[in-house]
């Protein structure tokens, strides 16, 4: 099967490796001049690591990341307990993004990835799908996977009118800095005042990642550092988190990432006869549940298993769509419940309910 994957990000590359496992001849089209990963570190949950084990990179990924016990704290550093939830509901691996995407690109094979290749659209026929590239080139394939992120071109054609919208007022700031003498066990996740969340955690190889997020952030003024620091003070009562404030104050401005959060609306479909969406292209979510990438990696596993189950591509894609849209109806309910929690304790409780649900109901592919 000739499969073209639009987008060489985390989920596109994982999907490429997953489909190679079942014999697909894969071509990844990436618009950027090199494989890269915007972002600092990503938290990967065990359901994502299982697919990495399948494609043979699980041990390498675990080796490049740091295990995190994501206990919750309030703004004064008091631990928030989540009765009824087990330690494993709070444990994930924090992995530096650039190294991860580079490992995945090596696994797929650099010769299978075309760079500077921007998909502009496609034409679907009964016998094939023709993928159109900027500059006029075309690729003929049996299957097209849209893994081209929140502003997906493939989604724009498959589901017209599904443009991503801003999660109004929701911003995230983060950076990876050299580890210092801050608490090695980290302070993730501190749930502060003014709908702010954040903290820091050790990424492997002597580096620490700090992050600050706020719903309803109000007007942004000053440098990125000023903006992040102002919000971080909501996480730092009574001296708790002086080290976070210091870390942000000494981070070079150019090392700070600032994101306005975008959301993909629920879609009327994820697939057609020869086209399927995966990752943020299908379900760009708010990062307050720290699981969009993990769930995108799940997409890759479910798609692989559906396509392996029978020769009829259209039926396989329909099975994939049914399974994923049902799961994402529930993801969205959990995400909304966490977002609208009143106070730190309820936020922690609802977050733990989400991670427990995600892990205990993850597809076994
Ligand atoms: C602040 C923040 C924190 C997060 N934290 C976590 C976390 O801890 N854990 C977690 O699981 N998830 C997390 N997420 C979510 C996670 O980052 C995303 O879900 C994940 O990166 C999506 O991967 P993707 O490959 O689908 O999309 P992307 O990473 O956006 O990749 C899309 C790729 O497609 C390319 N592309 C786009 N358009 C075209 C085109 N027309 N033609 C060719 N190529 C194209 C792009 O250049 C890019 O390389 C977080 C998100 C944010 C914003």
Asked whether residue 32 falls in the same domain as residue 129, the answer is yes
Mutate to test the pocket of ligand 1, among 133, 149, 224, 260 (most ligand atoms within 8 A of CB): 149
Residue 113 lies in a domain: yes
Domain containing 220 — which CATH number?
3.30.9.30
Judge if the beta carbon of residue 132 lies within 6 A of ligand 1.
Answer: no
Q: Distance from the CA of 10 to the center of ligand 1, in angstroms?
A: 6
Q: Distance from the CA of 258 to the center of ligand 1, in angstroms?
A: 14
Domain containing 334 — which CATH number?
3.50.50.60
pLDDT of residue 342: 93
Give the number of the atom of ligand 1 that is nearest the alpha carbon of residue 172.
Answer: 1
Judge if the beta carbon of residue 157 lies within 6 A of ligand 1.
Answer: no
Nearest-CA residue for atom 52 of ligand 1: 287
Instruction: List the domain range (segments joined by +) for residue 142.
Output: 2-38+97-164+264-360
Asked whether residue 312 falls in the same domain as residue 290, the answer is yes
Question: Under 8 Å CB-to-CB from 316, ≥6 apart: which residues?
Answer: 306, 307, 309, 310
d(CA 246, CA 87): 30
pLDDT of residue 106: 97
37 band by pLDDT with thresholds 50, 70 and 90? confident
Task: Return the percentage of the chain with pLDDT > 70, whole number.
Answer: 100
Pairs from 57-60 (Cβ < 8 Å, separation ≥ 24): 57/17, 57/103, 57/104, 57/107, 60/103
Asked whether residue 340 falls in the same domain as residue 250, the answer is no
pLDDT of residue 7: 98
Residue 107 lies in a domain: yes
Residue that is last in its domain, among 242, 261, 280: 261
Residue 153 lies in a domain: yes
* pLDDT, mean over the chain: 96
Is residue 39 scored above 90 in pLDDT?
A: no
pLDDT in tens, 227-247: 999 999 999 999 999 999 999
Q: How far is CA 157 from CA 59, 130, 281, in A?
A: 38, 13, 12
Asked whether residue 355 falls in the same domain as residue 281, the answer is yes
Asked whether residue 314 falls in the same domain as residue 293, the answer is yes
Asked whether residue 238 falls in the same domain as residue 346, the answer is no
Residue that is last in its domain, among 239, 261, 283: 261
Residue that is last in its domain, among 209, 242, 261: 261
pLDDT of residue 293: 97
pLDDT of residue 87: 87
Is residue 338 scored above 90 in pLDDT?
A: yes
Query: How many structural domains is the chain composed of?
Result: 2
Give the number of the atom of ligand 1 that is nearest the alpha carbon of residue 48.
Answer: 11
pLDDT of residue 70: 80
Give the number of the atom of ligand 1 that is nearest the alpha carbon of residue 295.
Answer: 11
81 band by pLDDT with thresholds 50, 70 and 90? confident
Q: Distance from the CA of 37 to the center of ligand 1, in angstroms?
A: 8
Q: Are 95 and 41 in contact (CB under 8 A)?
A: yes
Q: Distance from the CA of 336 to the center of ligand 1, in angstroms?
A: 21
Asked whether residue 271 falls in the same domain as residue 256, the answer is no
pLDDT in tens, 140-189: 999 999 999 999 999 999 999 999 999 999 999 999 999 999 998 899 99
The residue written with tokens 């189950």 in the block is: 309
Q: Is the pTM of this model over 0.85?
A: yes
pLDDT of residue 40: 83
242-249 and 224-232 helices, crossing angle to 10°? 180
Q: Distance from the CA of 97 to the center of ligand 1, in angstroms?
A: 10
Judge if the beta carbon of residue 6 lies within 6 A of ligand 1.
Answer: yes
Is residue 253 scored above 90 in pLDDT?
A: yes
Judge if the beta carbon of residue 294 lies within 6 A of ligand 1.
Answer: yes
pLDDT of residue 131: 98
36 band by pLDDT with thresholds 50, 70 and 90? confident
Kindly state the average pLDDT of the residues 236-261: 96
More confident residue, 97 or 17: 17
Mutate to test the pocket of ligand 1, among 292, 297, 354, 359 (most ligand atoms within 8 A of CB): 292
Residue 60 lies in a domain: no
């Amino acid at each position: 099967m000739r499969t073209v994957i639009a987008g060489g990000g985390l989920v596109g590359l994982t999907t490429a490796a997953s489909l190679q496992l079942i014999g697909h001849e894969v071509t990844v089209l990436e618009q950027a001049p090199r494989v890269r990963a915007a972002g600092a570190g990503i938290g990967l949950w065990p359901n994502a690591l299982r697919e990495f084990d399948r494609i043979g990179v699980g041990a390498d990924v675990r080796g490049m990341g740091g295990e995190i016990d994501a206990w919750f704290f309030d703004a004064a550093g008091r631990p928030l307990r989540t009765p009824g939830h087990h330690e494993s509901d709070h444990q994930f691996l924090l992995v530096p993004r650039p190294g991860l995407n580079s490992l995945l690109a090596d696994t797929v094979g650099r010769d299978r990835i075309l760079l500077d290749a921007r998909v502009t659209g496609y034409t679907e026929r009964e016998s094939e799908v023709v993928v159109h590239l900027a500059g006029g080139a075309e690729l003929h394939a049996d299957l097209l996977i849209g893994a081209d992120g929140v502003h997906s071109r493939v989604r724009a054609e498959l589901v017209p009118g599904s443009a991503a919208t801003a999660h109004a007022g929701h911003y995230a700031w983060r950076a990876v800095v050299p580890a210092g003498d801050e608490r090695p066990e980290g302070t993730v996740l501190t749930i502060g005042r003014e709908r702010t969340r954040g903290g820091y955690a050790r990424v492997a190889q002597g580096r620490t990642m700090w992050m600050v997020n706020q719903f309803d952030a109000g007007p942004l003024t000053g440098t990125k550092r000023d903006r992040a620091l102002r919000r971080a003070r909501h996480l730092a009562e009574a001296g708790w988190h002086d080290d976070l404030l210091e870390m942000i104050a000494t981070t070079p401005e150019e090392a700070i990432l600032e994101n306005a959060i975008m959301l993909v609306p629920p879609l009327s479909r994820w697939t057609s006869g020869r086209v399927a969406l995966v990752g943020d292209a299908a379900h760009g979510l708010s990062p307050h549940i720290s699981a969009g990438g993990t769930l995108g990696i799940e997409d890759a596993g479910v798609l692989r298993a559906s396509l392996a189950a029978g020769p009829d591509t259209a039926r396989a894609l329909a099975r994939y769509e049914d399974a994923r849209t049902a799961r994402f109806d529930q993801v969205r309910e959990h995400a909304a419940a966490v977002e609208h929690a009143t106070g730190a304790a309820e936020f922690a409780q609802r977050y733990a309910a989400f991670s427990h649900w995600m892990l205990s109901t993850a597809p076994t592919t």
